[in-house]
Structure 1
């Protein structure tokens, strides 16, 4: 009974079993083997193990040496066509084979026993797993590349752990952060929004959209960046949210770009509004003095009364100065717009310059209820400033004070330290309300729409201060007056006066300096290079006691100077054929003596520099004033 039971074992074990004699001939194979190879015992009886084409030569050599071998075979049935007959064709199977040498008690070889396991299915499954793994890795790599290309980052938040895991192809180097760490890296104003989101997604609450924008402070960064997060939830079999996946994208540049667009739009709208207001103001401001100039010019020709003529003349001159100031402000505005205010520092005697300005400002005050004082605490004060810009700031301050002081006192002055000069203008005028103070240095701003002016003066002062590295400011109280000041930084040499009583000047103190003797120059030979008939006629009237010669082009001016000697030349800059600068440069090639005065409507500092560089002795802007002409004639034609 036991022998029968034991004899059944080889037939029922799940492994293929084959027994070979000592010479390697097959003598027995169980049913599992026959099914595995698709043969009968008759088909394979007496085949020799050493002739099996699916066993390598190395393994056969080991067997001959008396060593057991184990190997995995990618079994090719087509190779067995001459080895044995089988119904299995054109396929391969994977076998795990072990060959053990059977020996007797004395160690003599008796035969070989071969066990074989068909692992084809298992191998195919493993292969599928490997292929799937490769696909997963490939997909992960592509996803990683896509995330990087899109500047995206993926995080998985494991709800039960309270941990964020960053997606990375290199699993062993995966980055993780705690919920607390993430919470603290979010901007304080956005944290409650983030916590509410996690709570809502975890409890499967319906949200209007699956994205959120947060400000996050990254590691080793000093500034918060804007990030957009798109999220989705992963549930387990019981429907609980276990993972929340976040796709993070840096949108800082987008946000900044949008903010800049909004700012640019607002700025453009504001500029458009301001410029519309400016054009409306200009129409009014230019027409007002122009109306006076035209009107009183007409009246001047119709009256014989000497006092009336003097009055009309004074009114025409006053409104002409107002019109020139308007044009000057507009020209400076164009420079401010492109950020190219010219600054040309030079050594200035501030004592002399401020005294001259005071005498000039004194003439502007027509209101008998207003007095102007000048405080000069120095006998000597020398500093390095742009003369034109220094005068411009002082002039704008004083002009504003005169405009908004119906009665009382205006005080102008300056004070120094070795490194700076502070100029100021103090008045007892109407002052500035608190709600309007922030607008003082804005372009086109006029706190009183009925006051004459462009609303550009103080903004130009601010631009000059910014360009020169200086400071500008004011203090004011309603109905108590204002003080405007400018601080310019420069090396300063100064000597203070011993007594303060000597530092103040009043109108009576300088009445003698306001009286200018009339200069009369005659019998000079003068060349006027001017293509405009009206401008030539004006100069002709002003210089009627002299011998005038006219040139309409630069070429004609050169020819006349070659043919005749002149005491002085007034050279217009813009002329046909050849302009005044080219003509002056050509004249200087053969004539270095004759004074040439540039006479032009171009009023920029660069125009003055170009004229002097071309060889002009002096630069004079239109409109022409008689006393300036006479002073130049007196200077150059003594």
Structure 2
């Protein structure tokens, strides 16, 4: 009987058909089924319908009860890996399936007939229709909102009569205005553009677009608003333009929004640029004192000379303080960025604290041409301040004054008034140019790229002033000097001295360490182009068995190479007047043989590439290691300096 049933099944009807025996084992599948599942009869013969992972347990239970079932299946071929072999992987098909119980005349179950239709394409079409419908509904909603909120109105300009007729959504509200009236309501800078448009449209001239944006006065307003006018020409029977229609839309909010976006974008780009520059500078600023610390620490272990040990110790301490200040500024910046500057007020004796700061600042002045004066006009001055922040502001003011005063006087002091204290630092230094004054308290701004430091000091002062409810400011004149001040509003008790002497308190200064001492001349003639004294002294100690010549700027390096022959040149990439990159490029125009080694605190790949492209033979990053330096010399000259 099984063969008789199978002979009745059409082989290639659009439906996939499968015949299972009464125990659920597949005995036959037509050609359509085999094609749908990518199999041969041999692949699926005797698979059991009750093992099919794509048929639910509920449907299988109904079949076992002798009930017909119909279902729609997201047929996952990956689930059939252990059911039968098929080359179809990683996809799903959608099938409508009906399983019918086959019975003999007595009603006994003889097997199962499974009919399956592939509706995958139909499903995809349904999804496309649904998505299209959603888009249409969304567009309809947007159009509805635009019509309701678009502030639309229409104008008709009758060229012959010279009249504008305006109507909005309420057709009965019609306004008539003369061309002169319309002309006067347009912003003076836009009037010629508007009149030129009327002339061009009236004469059928081809224009790049059918829209114009004008600033107009609406309803007796005093401020101009932006309107977009979309226009079209209406011709009369003779083919002449008789009427020009305008659809007006108020776009003031759009224009303001665009302007705000542009402003925000420019600010974000500027901030990003400043941050990138800041990070690049920090690499240099941190490595510069670190170079001295590491290098002199290494030399400290190699010398038995007491004088040299003391000299190295002083240099290590100085550069450690610089490094600590850099790290402190960066940490403060992170607090400023998240708005979490801590302020812990306490009663401070400002007379004593300012004396301590004065003595501290004295030690920092290495230039004998600069004097420091303290104005402390009180026998008693007690105020509520955060001690650390108070010292931080004073220190930042004084540090800048010391840094930018090549000669003359620096005056630090404070003044008390009821409810406030004003601290200040004046100097006779280089001052601030007018074009840089508006950026003086900005973050990531470093007005002098060759001055050591983060460039964050004054922006930190501004942040502290804001956090304490105080004020910070300055006055300055280029080549004359500057005064920076901070006003703190707080309870203060003070008693003025009966007679305040304008005393010049011990203008103590310390000399810079000698930049060039007598060394034993041996082996190589080396030019060191380095503007930082500590860095040069370190290299000088490392290369003490050679003849060294120093250049402080790129221009000076070029002049010395033209004047004499050197075996090798160590070129710092960041120097005043002319940087190392530019100097190397110019040197290579007349000297292609002398090895030039880029020696810099910059450690980015781009810095290495730029140095090599400029003509450097090798690239060394600070801090310089003695072993690395000696190996480099050995590589170029095949002998190790002893």
Give the TM-score normalised by the residue count of structure 2.
0.51
Counterpart secondary structure, 1:156: strand
Q: 2:467, 2:378 → 1: CA distance?
A: 27
Which ranges of 4 or more aligned residues in structure 1 deviate by more than 6 Å?
143-146
The answer to whether the 8 A contact 2:374-2:413 is kept is: yes
Q: 1:312, 1:191 → 2: CA distance?
A: 76
What is the match of residue 507 of structure 1?
506
Provide Cα deviations, 1:294-321, integer angstroms capped at 9, x if missing partner. Answer: 2232333344444444433332222111
Offset at 1:399? Answer: 0.6
The answer to whether the 8 A contact 1:375-1:505 is kept is: no
What is the match of residue 321 of structure 2?
321
Q: 1:378, 1:232 → 2: CA distance?
A: 81
**Distance of aligned partners of 1:386 and 1:234 in 2 relative to their CA distance in 1, 3 Å threshold:** farther
**Distance of aligned partners of 1:273 and 1:149 in 2 relative to their CA distance in 1, 3 Å threshold:** closer
Provide Cα deviations, 1:94-114, integer angstroms capped at 9, x if missing partner. Answer: xxxxxxxxxxxxxxxxxxxxx
The answer to whether the 8 A contact 2:475-2:483 is kept is: yes
Superposition pairs of residues 462-541 of structure 1, within 5 angstroms:
462-501=462-501, 504=503, 506-507=505-506
Counterpart secondary structure, 2:248: strand
Q: 1:430, 1:318 → 2: CA distance?
A: 24
Uncovered stretches (5+) of structure 1, i.e. residues with no partner: 1-142, 511-638
Offset at 1:461? Answer: 2.3
Superposition pairs of residues 326-365 of structure 1, within 5 angstroms:
326-365=326-365
Q: Does structure 1 residue 233 correspond to structure 2 residue 249? A: no
Superposition pairs of residues 42-61 of structure 1, within 5 angstroms:
none
Offset at 1:412? Answer: 0.8
Provide Cα deviations, 1:430-451, integer angstroms capped at 9, x if missing partner. Answer: 3333444444333333333322
The answer to whether the 8 A contact 2:371-2:508 is kept is: no
Q: How many residues align?
A: 368
Superposition pairs of residues 251-330 of structure 1, within 5 angstroms:
251-330=251-330
Q: 1:346, 1:161 → 2: CA distance?
A: 82
Provide Cα deviations, 1:359-395, integer angstroms capped at 9, x if missing partner. Answer: 2222222333322111122233344444333222211
Q: 2:184, 2:468 → 1: CA distance?
A: 45
Q: 2:445, 2:474 → 1: CA distance?
A: 16
Provide Cα deviations, 1:128-172, integer angstroms capped at 9, x if missing partner. Answer: xxxxxxxxxxxxxxx998633544322223445554433345444
What is the match of residue 190 of structure 1?
190
Offset at 1:181? Answer: 4.8
Superposition pairs of residues 89-238 of structure 1, within 5 angstroms:
147-160=147-160, 162-168=162-168, 170-177=170-177, 179-219=179-219, 223-238=223-238
**Distance of aligned partners of 1:145 and 1:296 in 2 relative to their CA distance in 1, 3 Å threshold:** closer
**Distance of aligned partners of 1:400 and 1:240 in 2 relative to their CA distance in 1, 3 Å threshold:** same
Superposition pairs of residues 441-460 of structure 1, within 5 angstroms:
441-460=441-460
Offset at 1:231? Answer: 1.0
Rg: which structure is higher? 1
Q: 1:198, 1:346 → 2: CA distance?
A: 74
The answer to whether the 8 A contact 1:286-1:326 is kept is: yes
Counterpart secondary structure, 1:207: coil
Offset at 1:325? Answer: 0.8
Q: 1:177, 1:341 → 2: CA distance?
A: 61
Q: 1:453, 1:162 → 2: CA distance?
A: 70
What is the match of residue 51 of structure 1?
none
Q: Which has the higher contact order (CA 8 A, sep 6+)?
A: 2
Q: 1:350, 1:478 → 2: CA distance?
A: 31
Provide Cα deviations, 1:234-291, integer angstroms capped at 9, x if missing partner. Answer: 3333445443221122333433333333333333332333223222211111111112
The answer to whether the 8 A contact 1:144-1:168 is kept is: no
Provide Cα deviations, 1:465-505, integer angstroms capped at 9, x if missing partner. Answer: 3444444333333433222223334454433333231x646
**Distance of aligned partners of 1:201 and 1:491 in 2 relative to their CA distance in 1, 3 Å threshold:** farther
What is the match of residue 579 of structure 2?
none
Counterpart secondary structure, 1:500: coil
The answer to whether the 8 A contact 1:158-1:244 is kept is: yes
Q: 1:424, 1:182 → 2: CA distance?
A: 60
**Distance of aligned partners of 1:232 and 1:348 in 2 relative to their CA distance in 1, 3 Å threshold:** farther
Q: 2:217, 2:318 → 1: CA distance?
A: 63
**Distance of aligned partners of 1:267 and 1:305 in 2 relative to their CA distance in 1, 3 Å threshold:** same
**Distance of aligned partners of 1:229 and 1:171 in 2 relative to their CA distance in 1, 3 Å threshold:** closer
**Distance of aligned partners of 1:155 and 1:271 in 2 relative to their CA distance in 1, 3 Å threshold:** same
**Distance of aligned partners of 1:155 and 1:448 in 2 relative to their CA distance in 1, 3 Å threshold:** same
Superposition pairs of residues 424-435 of structure 1, within 5 angstroms:
424-435=424-435
**Distance of aligned partners of 1:191 and 1:382 in 2 relative to their CA distance in 1, 3 Å threshold:** farther
The answer to whether the 8 A contact 2:419-2:490 is kept is: yes
Q: Does structure 1 residue 247 correspond to structure 2 residue 241? A: no
Offset at 1:356? Answer: 2.4
Counterpart secondary structure, 1:244: strand
Q: 2:343, 2:196 → 1: CA distance?
A: 58
Provide Cα deviations, 1:47-97, integer angstroms capped at 9, x if missing partner. Answer: xxxxxxxxxxxxxxxxxxxxxxxxxxxxxxxxxxxxxxxxxxxxxxxxxxx
**Distance of aligned partners of 1:222 and 1:284 in 2 relative to their CA distance in 1, 3 Å threshold:** same
What is the match of residue 112 of structure 1?
none
Q: 1:423, 1:488 → 2: CA distance?
A: 8
Counterpart secondary structure, 2:362: helix
Counterpart secondary structure, 1:507: coil
Provide Cα deviations, 1:516-552, integer angstroms capped at 9, x if missing partner. Answer: xxxxxxxxxxxxxxxxxxxxxxxxxxxxxxxxxxxxx
**Distance of aligned partners of 1:145 and 1:475 in 2 relative to their CA distance in 1, 3 Å threshold:** closer
The answer to whether the 8 A contact 1:186-1:215 is kept is: yes
Offset at 1:322? Answer: 0.7
Provide Cα deviations, 1:327-356, integer angstroms capped at 9, x if missing partner. Answer: 111112223333443444444433333222
Counterpart secondary structure, 1:153: strand
**Distance of aligned partners of 1:430 and 1:509 in 2 relative to their CA distance in 1, 3 Å threshold:** closer
Uncovered stretches (5+) of structure 2, i.e. residues with no partner: 1-142, 510-642
**Distance of aligned partners of 1:495 and 1:174 in 2 relative to their CA distance in 1, 3 Å threshold:** farther
Q: 2:352, 2:178 → 1: CA distance?
A: 74
The answer to whether the 8 A contact 1:376-1:504 is kept is: no
Q: Does structure 1 residue 422 correspond to structure 2 residue 422? A: yes
The answer to whether the 8 A contact 1:144-1:169 is kept is: no
Give the TM-score normalised by the residue count of structure 1.
0.52
Q: 1:337, 1:246 → 2: CA distance?
A: 50
Q: 1:447, 1:146 → 2: CA distance?
A: 50
**Distance of aligned partners of 1:446 and 1:162 in 2 relative to their CA distance in 1, 3 Å threshold:** same
**Distance of aligned partners of 1:386 and 1:233 in 2 relative to their CA distance in 1, 3 Å threshold:** farther
What is the match of residue 404 of structure 1?
404
